[in-house]
Amino acid sequence: MFEIPASLLSWFYGLTNSYTIAIALIAAVVMAITTPLTLKSTKGMLEMQKLAPEMRKLQNEHRNDRTKLNEEMMKLYQEHKVNPMASCLPLLAQAPVFYIMFRVLRGMAYAPRGGAGPVADAVWGAFNRPDEILDPGFIPRYLAIDSALYKSLFGQQSIMTLGLDLSQSAAQAVAKGFGTGIWYVLLVVLLAVLYFVQQRMVAARAAISPTMSVGQQKLMQYLPVFFAIFQIFFLAALVVYYLFQTVFRILQQAYITRAFYGHDESLGRQAQRAGEAAREEAKNNPDGGGGGFFAQAKRDLGHHVGKLELDQLRCRERAAELLAIERILAGGMPAPFGGAHHAPGDAVARAVQAAEPARTGDAAVDEVLGHLDTVTGKPLDSQIEAGEEVHRVLQDRLADLGQE
């Protein structure tokens, strides 16, 4: 995985005999590979943004039914032949490229230190090279040992080009002396400026996202600049690589602006107008769907609170129904229920009638209430026994409902 780009870098060095030019050429090759992915991602993002007004309407219509909303969204994507993953998958595919080039360029200045030191010492000792044990210099990784780049780096202590040591970071150079280190710092500053120019070009196209606030747009604009600051700890070879890559990205953004935003009916301009329409829809219906993760979380919380209140109301209604049944039974039964001695058969019949609305899945209560049907019209002793059982179950259930 690392050997292929390393061999290409070595081949460029063999042609030019310059570390800087070889790094610039490998950056150009990487950009040539990733640019089609970037263009595909940009097109997918604009196509999704173009559907923003219709997506907003669906979110408003099905704000409380996530399943239905997802079904309608999928129908919308299929109708317009839009792949919601088309805008992110190409970007994810570029992540391995970034990691590979990071390892390859760091591998140019690899020297066995730390835990790898004893292993290297044992190897040099086996080849009877005690001089190398003291200071072996670079042992480049991923390069063929017969390549020109490997031979030029093997055993060296620095990678000098244009007066800079590409094997040092800005932090290391400043630690050795401010006079020398300032040039490495300026290299990082130049990279930060290029990052800023690149993001300004993106911001100039306006309306990046219908759900992105002004603060979020500013964050996206300055975040790459902060990333550049951390590169004072990166090898100068990596900083040079990112410099050339950013120059190519600026050219790439200029092409995107001309290709996707060149005229009023271009895809980018349509997406911008759709984004504005979606924002207007959000203003007109501030409680509707959409609005990002926190807005959706707020709506979900409101939905669950409303459901909890409804459950509590049903619980109180259930308790009232059971209490009414218990009072009917208590009024129609002799002691220990108390009250007037009405005809037990009438009381049971009225209890059965009152119990019908309460049969909503409460297994224990429904079972004993159902038992009343079998004793209606039976001897008084049987009705009293059934009434006492219902009385007990209802009292227990009313106590449970009071705790809920």
In a domain, 180, yes or no: yes
Residue 202 and residue 55 share a domain: yes
CB neighbourhood size of 372 (10 A): 21
Between 364 and 232, whose confidence is greater? 232
Identify the domain containing residue 381 by its residue range: 297-403
Q: Which residues of 224-249 are buried (b: 16+ CB within 10 A; e: fewer)?
A: beeebeebbebbbbbbbbbbbbbbbb
pLDDT above 60 (res 381): no
Which tens digits make up the pLDDT trace of 205-263?
Answer: 754 444 455 666 677 667 777 888 888 999 999 999 999 999 999 999 999 988 888 88
Which tokens hold the place of 24?
């610039």
Residues 6+ apart with CB under 8 A from 149: 9, 10, 13, 14, 22, 108, 140, 143
CB neighbourhood size of 403 (10 A): 5
Domain edge (last residue) among 260, 284, 308: 284
User: Tokens 């923003």, residue?
Assistant: 52
In a domain, 138, yes or no: no
Three-state DSSP class for residue 200: helix
Residue 155 and residue 23 share a domain: yes
Q: What is the mean pLDDT of the chain?
A: 74
- Cβ(211)–Cβ(45) under 8 Å? no
In a domain, 125, yes or no: no
Domain edge (last residue) among 284, 315, 345: 284
- Cβ(140)–Cβ(166) under 8 Å? no
Between 135 and 17, whose confidence is greater? 17
Q: CA-CA distance, 120 to 118, in Å (whole number)?
A: 5
Which tens digits make up the pLDDT trace of 331-345?
Answer: 544 433 334 444 444
Residue 199 and residue 67 share a domain: yes
**Mean pLDDT to the nearest integer, 137-147:** 89
Which tens digits make up the pLDDT trace of 34-50?
Answer: 999 888 888 888 888 88
Q: CA-CA distance, 324 to 333, in Å (whole number)?
A: 14
What torsion do the CA atoms of 200, 201, 203, 204 make, to the nearest 10 degrees? Answer: 110
CB neighbourhood size of 69 (10 A): 18
What torsion do the CA atoms of 92, 96, 97, 99 make, to the nearest 10 degrees? Answer: 130
Tell me, what DSSP letter sits at residue 288?
Answer: S
Residues 6+ apart with CB under 8 A from 401: 315, 316, 318, 319, 322
Q: What CA–CA distances, in Å, run from 200 to 38, 60, 193, 285?
A: 17, 34, 10, 32
Residue 205 and residue 58 share a domain: yes
Between 28 and 52, whose confidence is greater? 28
Residue 244 and residue 185 share a domain: yes
Nearest residue to 268 via CA among 281, 252, 257:
257
pLDDT above 80 (res 204): no
What torsion do the CA atoms of 245, 248, 254, 257 make, to the nearest 10 degrees? Answer: -60
Three-state DSSP class for residue 164: strand
In a domain, 131, yes or no: no
Domain edge (last residue) among 257, 284, 311: 284
In a domain, 231, yes or no: yes
- Cβ(184)–Cβ(174) under 8 Å? yes
Q: What CA–CA distances, in Å, run from 346 to 128, 156, 334, 342, 377?
A: 112, 107, 13, 8, 9
Residues 6+ apart with CB under 8 A from 337: 329, 330, 331, 387, 391
In a domain, 322, yes or no: yes
Residue 364 and residue 330 share a domain: yes
pLDDT above 60 (res 351): no
Residue 176 and residue 236 share a domain: yes
Residue 150 and residue 52 share a domain: yes
Count how many domains the chain has: 2
Residue 83 and residue 228 share a domain: yes
Read off the amino acid at residue 96: P
In a domain, 127, yes or no: no
Between 281 and 346, whose confidence is greater? 281
Residue 206 and residue 81 share a domain: yes
User: Tokens 């409101």, residue?
Assistant: 302
Residue 318 and residue 261 share a domain: no
pLDDT above 60 (res 274): yes
Q: CA-CA distance, 290 to 211, in Å (whole number)?
A: 8
Residue 309 and residue 277 share a domain: no
In a domain, 212, yes or no: yes
